[in-house]
């Protein structure tokens, strides 16, 4: 593959992130390996965490929000008896407790953590406060007051008791969930302290760990062919989003920023056109010749391009 081909890469790489490296560091490394400038990741993983990290290349970066808003599955280990400033093993110990929960008490407490719950993000997080990352403020020992957020916890289970001091859990959750906060709050519910010692993400939306590739960040030399052979198409993140089919002429107009009358389309049997309440769809995309053209909105019978995809 030529250098110009590589520079025009568009799609997704699903990394199995290793522990000890940040999501941003991996993005920078992939950018250098493939000589790609437009690149981003779908959903930050903590430095200590492992697992699924979707990397968007080229025009796929315009669809990152489709990944960030999807459900995720994690497994993690809580160590009881100690709280830390980061709510994980990387922070210094703040408080200690001699209390250790048993299996019965843990399962009883988990009931209150399922469904829609309110959660306060950890101080060491990437949330911006007045333009500065929360973790930067926390490192400066500045006071941080995060507001509680409503999140969705679809499933939260105890996998096993490792020993008297730790237990393994599994959770399926919606966007905006902090596993470190779950561990902190569960420990508080159990009248003790706790922090995360291991964390792995098993899937993000329809990106599963079986689709991942592993790149050792700490190796000096990494070749690009293994990466290039595992690039997923842009459209893979749109599997559950309704599509509007266009002809090549209609697609060209949309790419040029023109509006198109919905009732003028050639493919009038499209599901969206026939659907009586198409306005209820928050997201729709246009496709032509099996290629995504743009993210669109339909208003007053007009198709309007919201974000054009060029590749």
- What is the reported pLDDT for 276? 54
Instruction: Domain 3-69+206-236: state its class.
Output: alpha beta
Cα R_g (the chain), whole angstroms? 23
pLDDT of residue 138: 44
26: Cα within 13 Å, side-chain hemisphere: 34
55 φ/ψ angles, rounded to the nearest 5 degrees: -115, 125
Q: Which residue has the tokens 């969206």?
A: 272
pLDDT value at residue 141? 59
Average pLDDT, the chain: 86
Selecting among 16, 46, 216, 289, the annotated active-site residue is 46
Whether the pLDDT of residue 3 is over 50: the answer is no
| 46 classed as catalytic | yes
Q: What is the pLDDT of residue 1?
A: 38
Q: Which fold has domain 241-308?
A: 2.30.130
Strands 194-204 and 50-57: parallel
Least confident of 127-136, 183-192, 199-208: 127-136
Q: Indicate the domain borders of the chain.
A: 3-69+206-236, 72-204, 241-308
Q: pLDDT-based confidence at 228, cuts 50/70/90?
A: confident
pLDDT band per the 50, 70, 90 thresholds, residue 60: very high
Q: How far, CA to CA in Å, does 127 sit from each of 41, 42, 131, 281, 287?
A: 16, 15, 9, 29, 35
Architecture of domain 72-204: 2-Layer Sandwich (3.30)
Return the higher-pLDDT residue of 146 and 50: 50
In sign, the C-alpha dihedral spanning 259, 261, 264, 269 is positive
pLDDT of 219 above 90:
no
How far, in Å, CA of 181 to CA of 56, rounded? 27
Can you read off the two tokens belonging to residue 278?
Answer: 């198409």
Structure confidence by residue, pLDDT tens digits, 7-53:
589 999 999 999 999 999 999 988 988 889 999 998 889 899 999 99
By the 8 A CB rule, do 262 and 301 touch? Answer: yes
Question: Of 43-47, 58-62, 65-69, 129-133, which gets the smallest average pLDDT?
Answer: 129-133
Task: Evaluate whether 248 touches 299 at the Cβ level (below 8 Å).
Answer: no
For residues 66-78, give the mean pLDDT. Answer: 93
Q: What is the pLDDT of residue 13?
A: 92
Same fold: 72-204 with 241-308: no
pLDDT of 109 above 50: yes
Max mean pLDDT range (60-64, 126-130, 134-138): 60-64
Please give the torsion angle defined by the CA atoms of residues 150, 67, 45 and 73, in that order, rounded to the nearest 10 degrees. 70
* Gap between the Cα atoms of 200 and 169, Å rounded: 11
CB contact at 8 A, 33 and 224: yes
**Distance (Å, rounded) from C-alpha 81 to C-alpha 99?**
7
pLDDT in tens, 240-288: 788 888 999 999 999 999 999 888 888 765 656 555 555 566 788 888 8
Angle, in degrees to the nearest 10, between helices 103-110 and 179-189: 120
Burial of 181 (0-12, 13-18, 19+ CB in 10 A): buried
Q: Which two tokens stand for residue 179?
A: 């596993």
Which whole-number Å values give the CA distances from 253 to 61, 234, 248, 273, 300, in the listed order?
Answer: 23, 21, 9, 19, 18
Distance CA 264, CA 301 (A): 10
Q: Do the beta carbons of residue 96 and residue 81 sit within 8 Å?
A: yes
Instruction: Name residue 169's beta-bridge partners.
Output: 76, 158
pLDDT of residue 208: 94
The band of 211, judged by pLDDT with boundaries at 50, 70 and 90, is: confident
Q: Is the pLDDT of residue 121 over 90?
A: no
pLDDT at 265: 83
The per-residue pLDDT for 263 is 82
């Amino acid at each position: 593959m030529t250098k110009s081909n590589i520079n025009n890469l568009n799609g997704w790489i699903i990394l199995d992130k290793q522990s000890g490296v940040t999501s941003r560091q991996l993005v920078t490394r992939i950018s250098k390996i493939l000589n790609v400038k437009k690149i981003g990741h779908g959903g930050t993983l903590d430095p200590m965490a492992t697992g699924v990290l979707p990397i968007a290349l080229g025009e796929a970066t315009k669809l990152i929000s489709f990944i960030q808003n999807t459900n995720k599955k994690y497994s993690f280990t809580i160590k009881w008896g100690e709280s830390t400033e980061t709510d994980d093993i990387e922070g210094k110990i703040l408080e200690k407790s001699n209390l250790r929960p048993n299996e019965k008490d843990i399962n009883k407490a988990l009931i209150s953590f399922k469904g829609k719950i309110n959660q306060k993000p950890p101080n060491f997080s990437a949330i911006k406060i007045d333009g500065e990352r929360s973790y930067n403020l926390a490192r400066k020992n500045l006071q941080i007051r995060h507001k509680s957020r409503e999140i969705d916890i679809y499933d939260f289970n105890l996998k096993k008791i490792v020993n008297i001091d730790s237990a393994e859990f599994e959770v399926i959750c919606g966007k905006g969930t902090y596993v470190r906060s779950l561990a902190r709050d569960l420990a508080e519910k159990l009248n003790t302290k706790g922090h995360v010692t291991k964390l792995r993400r098993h899937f993000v939306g329809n990106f599963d760990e079986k689709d991942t590739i592993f790149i050792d960040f700490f190796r000096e030399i990494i070749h690009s062919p293994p990466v290039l052979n595992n690039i997923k198409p842009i459209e893979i993140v749109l599997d559950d989003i309704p599509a509007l089919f266009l002809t090549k002429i209609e697609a060209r107009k949309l790419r040029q920023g023109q509006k198109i009358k919905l009732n003028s389309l050639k493919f009038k049997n499209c599901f969206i056109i026939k659907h009586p309440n198409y306005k209820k769809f928050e997201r729709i995309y246009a496709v032509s010749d099996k290629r995504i053209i743009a993210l669109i909105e339909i208003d007053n019978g007009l198709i309007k391009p919201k974000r054009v995809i060029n590749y």
